Structure 1
Amino acid sequence: MIFDDFAIKSLIRAIPDFPRQGNIFRDITPVFQSPKATRMVVDGLVQRYVESDFTHIGAIEARGFLLGSMVAYALNKPLVLFRKQGKLPDDVLSEPYDTGYEQSLLEVHKDVLCEGDKVLLIDDIIASGATFIAAASLIRRMGASVYEVAAIVDLPELEGSQRLQDAGIPSYSLTAFACDER
């Protein structure tokens, strides 16, 4: 199945003033309500990474879990979960992050990666880049490296992909929206 940028963008809802006044939230849940769109998104990522040299897929809570688990299954790679504070039951590493509207801690089990592992990090959207950068820090603290960051949508005006680039982290998205684009 060929990826259709227009078809995917047409399903992503723009929710004004969420989670705070002035933001336009990009709601990807309609993509997952369409089996064809879901397959298109997953297949688009699988095709990009099928012959890539990485060892694990890292999925960021919560929408990244949906996408990451499907891609991990398709590529037969182990899945690493990056969660908000207090959600993992064993010994964890924590990393603070600030998205501009939320300060939080991202956590991962401290024994899930080791030196030499390469992680493809997946979430739904590249916005400020803060969560991806926190996950990358956790990955590096375990001696592993980030292969690339992947998302369905990039919001370039929020400069997350630029922050990732500045941090030496390559990024990829299937589509992008201007902040004012409906």
Structure 2
Amino acid sequence: MVNSKSIQDYIRTIPDFPHEGIMFRDVTTLFNDARGFRMAVDMLLHPFAGQPIDRVAGLEARGFILGGAVAHQLGIGFIPIRKAGKLPHDRIAQDYQLEYGQATVEIHTDSIQAGESVLIVDDLLATGGTAEAGIKLIERLGGKVAGCAFVVDLPELGGRQRLEAMGVDVHALTAFEGA
């Protein structure tokens, strides 16, 4: 039986969450469907097929789910890029701007060897701040970013342009208009 559903068909939209005027794109419905989840993982991998990728890095938190599955498919290791204070070993940190304030992500210093190629995976690309912080962490450890793969892009928020301006290849499975 052929699956005629698109990635967008698996994503639930929740109006006014977490604030009024926001259309929250909930990918947990995608994760909950075996066919949809498998399709998303395969589609996230496709543009990078044949490229030498040594590790997959997932951005907290839904990037862990997707990134772990992508790393498994590729038969390579997974690197969590976590919010500050969550990693137990030697780590480096990178600050980034949020709409209201600042946040920090961290990575273990021994997670990447100099020269290794890393694919960054997350569920959603909005302003690109978290992904940019992840890119900077990987590069500070001597890694090379093979690209960034997302399920959803919110083009109006400019994340793709921000990452592409850094020289990073960006791939998204679908896009939704509005914030």
TM range (shorter): over 0.9
Residue 102 of structure 1 deviates from its aligned partner by 5.4
Contact persistence 1:116–1:145 (CA under 8 A): yes
| Equivalent position amino acid for 2:44 in 1 | L
Residue 8 of structure 1 deviates from its aligned partner by 1.8
Q: Deviations over 1:113-152 (max 9, x none)?
A: 1211111000001111000000001011111111100011
* Secondary structure of 1:139's aligned partner: helix
Q: Find the aligned partners of 2:2 and 2:101 in 1 and give their Cα distance.
A: 36
More deviation, 99-108/163-172: 99-108
Match of 2:57 in 1: 58
* Secondary structure of 1:88's aligned partner: coil
Contact persistence 2:17–2:23 (CA under 8 A): yes
Match of 2:71 in 1: 72
Match of 2:122 in 1: 123
Structure 1 pair 104–39 and aligned structure 2 pair: CA distance change class (3 A):
same
Q: Find the aligned partners of 2:3 and 2:86 in 1 and give their Cα distance.
A: 34
Structure 1 pair 107–156 and aligned structure 2 pair: CA distance change class (3 A):
same
Match of 1:86 in 2: 85
Instruction: Provide the alpha-carbon RMSD of the alignment.
Output: 1.9
Counterparts of residues 93-104 of structure 1 (less than 5 Å): 93-101=92-100, 103-104=102-103
Contact persistence 1:3–1:41 (CA under 8 A): no
Match of 2:35 in 1: 36
Q: Deviations over 1:7-29 (max 9, x none)?
A: 32122122223233332221100
Q: Find the aligned partners of 2:50 and 2:167 in 1 and give their Cα distance.
A: 22
The total of aligned residue pairs comes to 179
Contact persistence 2:10–2:29 (CA under 8 A): yes
Residue 170 of structure 1 deviates from its aligned partner by 1.4
Q: Find the aligned partners of 2:70 and 2:2 in 1 and give their Cα distance.
A: 16
| Equivalent position amino acid for 2:38 in 1 | R
Contact persistence 2:57–2:78 (CA under 8 A): yes
Contact persistence 2:57–2:81 (CA under 8 A): yes
Contact persistence 1:56–1:117 (CA under 8 A): yes
Residue 98 of structure 1 deviates from its aligned partner by 1.7
Match of 1:132 in 2: 131
Q: Find the aligned partners of 2:3 and 2:59 in 1 and give their Cα distance.
A: 23
> Where in structure 1 are there 5+ consecutive unaligned residues?
none
Q: Find the aligned partners of 1:67 and 1:57 in 2 and give their Cα distance.
A: 10
Q: Find the aligned partners of 2:120 and 2:143 in 1 and give their Cα distance.
A: 12
| Equivalent position amino acid for 1:171 in 2 | V
Contact persistence 1:50–1:75 (CA under 8 A): no
Match of 1:7 in 2: 6
| Equivalent position amino acid for 2:133 in 1 | A
TM-score by length of structure 1 reads 0.91
* Secondary structure of 2:6's aligned partner: helix
Structure 1 consecutive aligned stretches of length 4 or more whose deviation exceeds 6 Å:
none
Contact persistence 1:59–1:79 (CA under 8 A): yes
